[in-house]
Amino acid sequence: MEKTINSLGKFISLMIPIMTFLMIVIIVARYFFDIGFTGLQELVMYMHGLVFLGCAGYVQYKNEHVRVDIFYREANESYKKKINFFLCFLFLLPLCFVIGYFSIDLITSAWESKEASTEAGGLKFVYIQKTLIVLFPITILMTLIHQFIQDKWN
């Protein structure tokens, strides 16, 4: 499972330089040539969603996620592991189930209607973007299961 988490995180993180390049193209086209690329702008937005939702588990696994370090920073490793374990199961696990459960209807209806962008020149596959929502709970759950199995918090 560790290999899957790492591979998925590294693969999806490759989208960041591609997004950067596409944003430069969009900006240059708009401000220097007065050309708008609505579809390309939406593609960058979809890629941003993919990076955020798909790399959440990878960032959690690498312990590089954002946290408030007021009390945590000065603590010893044993205390940090206990706090991580407790808070992940108190907040992160229920969040994964809530997002996973409530996204099912949204994703199903988007696929049934083949939802498309409402913008002129927008992409015709919004339903694929909405499907990316399930990446968050899947990658986080994979990471939590792996960390629990590997006894990372004890």
The reported pLDDT for the residue numbered 20 is: 92
Query: Using alpha carbons only, how large is the chain's radius of gyration in Å?
Result: 19
Rounded to whole angstroms, how far apart are CA atoms 127 and 148? 33
**Per residue in 19-51, pLDDT tens?**
999 999 999 998 889 888 888 888 888 888 888
Which two three-digit tokens encode residue 12? 């999806």
| Domain locations in the chain as residue ranges | 2-149
Among the ranges given (7-11, 12-16, 106-110), the one the predictor scored with the smallest mean pLDDT: 7-11
* pLDDT (average), residues 71-100: 82
Q: What share of the chain has pLDDT > 70, as a percent?
A: 92
- Flag whether pLDDT at 98 surpasses 90: yes
pTM here is 0.75
